[in-house]
Every structure is written in structure tokens, then in C-alpha cells.
Structure 1
Amino acid sequence: MSVSSSPPVTDAEHFAVIHKEFRRPIEGYIANRLPRRDHHLAEDIASEVFVSLWKSYYAQGNTVNEKPWGLLATIAKRRMCDHFRLARNTREWTAGADSWKFDNQPLKPDKSGTWIR
């Protein structure tokens, strides 16, 4: 059993055609489904869509049919879900109002050189 070290065959020209033809429509599709019109976020997610398309299909030697809109829209929907799932998990929440009770109080030097309240 021999292991081939050559990279998989890719069709970069076909990918470039799909990217050129569908980049703007995918950005619009994403922008219309965002909670607010954020074109920069739509561009970022659209970039992730095409990276996913490349990794899932072209880098593995597969090609996409001549009408890839359904595939691109599905990938876009999944990348938007991923984006908001990650945003939900990293959102910072303020603590309760009682957590501010130590603000604006003078600090005293400790013997070790640190400052304490």
C-alpha cells in the first residue's frame, strides 16, 4: 500500500468563476438575514462561505454543479449560525449593581508592595 504525497487535484478556475459570479449575491443574502444591516459582517461571513466551499469540495478534488446557489445558501446559513453561536458564548455581561461598591475608594500599600483596599 503506497501513500501518495501529491496534493489533490483542484479546479481553481471553476472556483474563481463561481466566486466572481456569486460573491455579491451571497453577501446580499447574508446582509438581508442579519439583525441589522452590517455589510462588513456580511462580507466576512461570505468569505467564510467561500473558504468552506473550497475546503469541502475543491481542495478534495470534487467540483460543484453549474447551479451552486442552493449549496452556497446552505453554507451561508450555517456560517451565520456559527457566527451567532460563537457571539452568544463570548458576550460579556455586566455584573450586578452591588459589584460597584468598591469603586472610587482609596487603596493602601501592603507590606509586599501591592495595593489593597
Structure 2
Amino acid sequence: MEHRTDQERSDQLAALVVSHTRTVQAVLVRALRLEDRHLVDDFAQDVWLTAWQYLLRGNEITRPAGLLATMARHRVTDHYRLARVRREVATDPTAYGPLANAAAGARELVSA
């Protein structure tokens, strides 16, 4: 196995970004739901970070298009998998804590 410097890995990643950005974005656009297309740039950034970590572990990328497409699809899959178990709950910020006290004080002033 050939040992590369971080600069060589950085150069390799930069070359991948230049040559495969459109591929990564296209895979993400196809894999995401229509209402989630605004996430393409964020997910692309995650793919490049994953590729960088992959290179830092000493791995070689012999088929970059396939590897990056797989990373992109996995990122989308992880997003939807987490979305199934993570529920966002809307709350009234004035119902708890310091805002509740301020809201109660404001109601007293209005009613007086």
C-alpha cells in the first residue's frame, strides 16, 4: 500500500470535486423527494466529507463515480431512516421558562 501525504490526498479530493460534482448532485436530486431537493447542497457537502475521511483512512479510490454515487445514496437513505424515528414537535415558547413568566406578566398588564 502506498503512503500518501495529506497534501496528496487533498489534491486527489480537489480533483474529484472538480470532475464529479455534477454526478454527486444528480444522484442526490434523483434520490431525494421533491420537497427535499433543497438539501442537495448540504448532502453533497456530506458526501465530500465522507470521501475525505475515506482517503484519510488510507483507502484508494479506483472507481470514483461509483463510490461517490454510493456515498450519496447512503446519505439520502440515512436522512430518511432518521426522519422516520425523529419527530419534530411544535411547542409554544411562551408556555415554559422565562418566556412564560414574561407572557404571564404581559397578560396581567393588559387585563389591568
Q: TM-score, normalised by structure 2?
A: 0.65
5+ long unaligned stretches in structure 1: 1-7, 95-117
Match in the other structure for 2:95: none
Match in the other structure for 2:58: 61
Q: Is the 8 A contact 1:9 1:59 kept in 2?
A: no
What RMSD over aligned residues (CA atoms) do the two structures have, in Å? 2.1
Pairs aligned (count): 85
Deviations 1:42-69 (A, max 9, x none): 111111111111112x21233312x311
5+ long unaligned stretches in structure 2: 91-112
The structure with the larger Rg is: 1
Aligned equivalent of 2:50, options 47, 52, 58: 52
The answer to whether residue 20 in structure 2 is matched with residue 22 in structure 1 is: yes
Higher helix share: 2
Structure 1 consecutive aligned stretches of length 4 or more whose deviation exceeds 4 Å: none
Q: Which amino acid in structure 2 is aligned with residue 14 of structure 1?
A: Q
The percent of aligned pairs where both chains have the same amino acid is 33
Aligned equivalent of 1:36, options 30, 34, 37: 34
Measure, in 2, the Cα distance between the counterparts of 1:47 and 1:40.
13
Q: Is the 8 A contact 2:25 2:40 kept in 1?
A: yes
Deviations 1:78-111 (A, max 9, x none): 11111111222222379xxxxxxxxxxxxxxxxx
Partner secondary structure for residue 81 of structure 1: helix
